[in-house]
Amino acid sequence: MALTAEVLAMLAFTLLAFYGVAGWALTRTLRQESRKVEILRHQDRMDTYSPAALEELREWIEENPDDPRVDEARERYNECVDVLRTTDRHFYDWSDEETSRLEPI
Amino acid sequence: MADAPTKTARAEWGTRFGFLMAMIGAMVGAGNIWRFPYVTGNNGGGAFILAFLTLLFLLAAPGLMAEVALGRYTGKGVIGAFRDVVGRGGLVGLGVVVLLVNVALMSYYSPVVGWTLYYAIHSLLFTFTGSGFDPTAFWEGLLENPALMIGLHTVVMGSIAAVLALGIRRGVERLVVYAVPALVLSLLVMTVRGLTLPGATEGIAFVFGVEWEYLTYSSTWITALGQALFSTGLGWGIALTIGSYLREYDDVPLGGGVFTAVGESSIGILAALAIFPVVFATGLEPDEGANLTFISLVQVFPEIPLGGVVAVFFFVGFFLATYTSGLLITEVSVTTLSEETRLSRIQTVLVVCGGIWLLGIPSAYSVDVLDYLDFVFGNWGLPLATLAIIGVIGWKLGPERLRVLSVNRNAGVYVGPWWDPLIKYVIPAVMLFIVAYFAYDEYGTPEMIGGMVVLVTFPLIGYALMSVLEGRDRPGTAEPAGGDD
């Protein structure tokens, strides 16, 4: 029995959708771990948020000043800002211009 | 990442690979190996895969991210994590609900692991390729031999206790980093063998043939929903527990969400490629369920070249899949109880495994009890546990708060605000739908009555227990949950 083009197409799509995504996620996350290890060997601290995520964290703190976890959020924000200012290697794609604009909350 | 700073003395995964393998090992179980392939074939093939994939990305991956993130954020087991979110009081009892469901689940899953162990041992002895071997008599002989079943259940729980007693890094991680790749290798070997058999393409056509009209059937979507949610182990407390051993600098969304959801499903696809070419090449019925694995497949191994060796790979792989799931399901209770009591990890392991062993005896004794419990907990217990975990994140902690504080912290990919309504509204609504659907579908049956008992009594037990216990001073923990790691 020969496989139809539709079956072959679905087989190819399935392999790509599952193994492609799983392989991409596995490779990317293991590479990121290696990079983190390398950064932490060079310096004892590392930036904890990407530019988009840190911006969102700042907005959340400003919009929720009375939240019971706002102090923790502020601490995390300031920690990231401090690390970005005091270290030379960053995990996320922070530019010098972006880091110079950051202020603790 | 061994040099990464830690906030507590709690045990942590030694490597990211160990964490990922633990997640996959926990989620890949019997359901992925034999259920996913034939469910796919019976529900429109490629159409079902599209429905499954949609629900996997829409619900399972975001839900797993939430559960892992809660574990890492609190750094605690199920009850401790709930206490961190809801404060002290009866509501912490929702964590007890998750724990009770896990213990119940493991009590009947352990005998199933025992079946796979028995078949793995006999594959190594080349029993299945011996002359005059009768697969049906062999299978029925196992199920109708209570002493043997209880013995296997005892061996399984004993060995799980031994691994868990060694701790997270020396026990669990050391096992899963070898077991999961070995499972994949086993399925690959069987796939290669199966695809080279004459007539194997019919198996491929059965699983991957596209019947588009199935996308318009509600049954296709409900089956895909069940497969996407429950085969990924969402809401069982496993992802929370595994996540609680993550290091500060680890990523949640990529490893804990995307890789886990898609990776464990990839093993289901691999199982389809391994099993169905053999099934069709030898003229077997594809929708035999457990019988397909334990009776039908066994009878074809003597008929295919190198069948004895292929049987070894298949059943050893199958055993590893069920065993690692059982190990991590049990770890949920061990982690939680060792944090909540003054018992050491080893004492906790003995109490938990002993308790599960005792509760599992009826299921080991009678397969009817096992089937009944599987139906009740699969259709009502697990949605209840998922509702508890995702509900607490969505309605008490708040998905936006968890996302900005934990999910996107040290994340490999950025998770945007689209995630919040999925956690707060969509997943809880889906769980309520599943509970209501099966209550309607099974109205008046003993299964439905059992399900209603679980739905009502488990939350009441949890609430009452924690109302009393939380009123007292909590005992300190004797040692970190990870034991001697």
Tell me what pLDDT residue B479 has: 43
Mean pLDDT (chain B, rounded): 90
Q: Would you state the pLDDT for residue B11?
A: 82
Angle at Cα B328 formed by Cα B324 and Cα B334, nearest 5°? 140
Mean pLDDT to the nearest integer, B22-37: 86
Q: What was the pLDDT predicted at B484?
A: 47
Instruction: Decide: B291 and B451 in contact? Cβ < 8 Å.
Output: no
Residue B369 in contact with partner chain A when CB distance is under 8 A = no
Share of chain A above pLDDT 90, in %: 81
Rounded mean pLDDT, B444-469: 94
pLDDT mean over B441-447: 93
Task: State the angle between helix axes of B382-392 and B78-86 in degrees (0 to 180), rounded to the nearest 10.
Answer: 40
Instruction: Please say whether the beta carbons of B402 and A70 come within 8 A.
Output: no
Q: Which of residues 38-67 of B touch A (CB under 8 A)?
A: 45-46, 49, 53
ipTM attached to this prediction: 0.94
What is the per-residue pLDDT for B9?
A: 61
CA–CA dist B374, B447 (Å, integer) = 10
pLDDT band per the 50, 70, 90 thresholds, residue B166: very high
Whole-number pLDDT of residue B160: 97
d(C-alpha A9, C-alpha A14), whole Å: 9
> Chain A closest CA to B263's CA: distance in Å?
5
Residue B362 to residues B283, B330, B369, Cα–Cα distance (Å):
36, 18, 7
| DSSP class per residue in B161-214 | HHHHHT-IIIIIIHHHHHHHHHHHHHHHHHHHHHHTSTTTHHHHHHHH-B-GGG
Sign of the CA dihedral running A103, B1, B5, B7: positive
Residues of B in contact with A11 (CB under 8 A): 204, 208
Q: Mutate which of B266, B270, B413, B419 to test chain A, going by most A C-beta atoms within 10 A?
A: B266
**pLDDT computed for residue B1 by the predictor:** 39
Q: Residue B162: pLDDT above 90?
A: yes
Q: Does A53 touch chain B (CB under 8 A)?
A: yes
How far apart CA B135 and CA B284 sit, in angstroms, is 14
Question: Phi/psi of residue B100, each to 5°?
Answer: -65, -40
Q: What percent of chain B has pLDDT over 90?
A: 69
Confidence grade of residue B180 (pLDDT, cut at 50, 70, 90): very high
What are the residue ranges of helices labelled H in B411-470? Answer: 419-421, 427-441, 446-469
pLDDT band at residue B67, thresholds of 50, 70 and 90?
very high
Yes or no: say if B164 and B330 are a contact pair by the CB < 8 Å rule: yes
Give the mean pLDDT of chain A.
93
State the Cα–Cα distance between residues B4 and B114, nearest whole angstrom: 40
User: Other C-beta atoms within 10 Å of A41: how many?
Assistant: 10
Q: Which two structure tokens, joined as six digits, stand for B395? A: 């309605």
CB of A66 less than 8 A from some CB of B: no
A36 vs B: CB within 8 A:
yes
Report the C-alpha gap between B48 and B306 in whole angstroms.
33
3-class DSSP assignment, residue B45 = strand
**Which pLDDT band, with edges at 50, 70 and 90, does B272 fall under?**
confident
Q: Tens of pLDDT along B341-400?
A: 989 999 999 999 999 999 999 999 999 999 999 999 988 999 999 999 999 999 999 999
Mean pLDDT, to the nearest integer, of B200-224? Answer: 90
Range with lowest mean pLDDT among B60-69, B186-195, B366-375, B469-478: B469-478
Residue B132: CB atoms within 10 A of its CB come to 4
Which range has highest mean pLDDT (B216-230, B297-311, B413-427, B458-472)?
Answer: B413-427
Res. B206 pLDDT band, cuts 50 70 90? confident
CB B199 within 8 A of CB B25: no
pLDDT the model gives residue B242: 94
- From chain A, the residues in CB contact with B16 under 8 A are 29-30, 33
Q: A12: how many CB neighbours lie within 10 A of its CB?
A: 11
Round to whole Å and give the CA distance between B438 and B433.
Answer: 9
Q: Which two tokens stand for residue B125?
A: 């002895």
Please report the pLDDT score of residue B2 as a whole number: 37
For residue B485, what pLDDT band results from cuts at 50, 70 and 90?
Answer: low
Q: How far does the CA of residue B408 sit from the closest CA of chain A (Å)? A: 6
Q: Residue B254 pLDDT > 80, yes or no? A: yes
CB pairs under 8 A between A and B: 122
How much is the pLDDT for B155?
A: 98
Instruction: Residue B106: name the closest of B236, B19, B18, B260 by CA.
Output: B236
- Which residues, at least 6 apart from B426, have a Cβ–Cβ distance to it below 8 Å? B58, B59
pLDDT digits (tens, 9 = 90+) for B72-129: 999 999 999 999 999 888 899 999 999 999 999 999 999 999 999 999 999 999 999 9
Q: Is B408 on the interface with A (CB under 8 A)?
A: yes
Say whether A50 and B411 touch across the interface (CB within 8 A): yes
Alpha-carbon gap, residue B397 to B75, rounded angstroms:
15
Whole-angstrom distance, CA of residue B127 vs CA of residue B298: 10
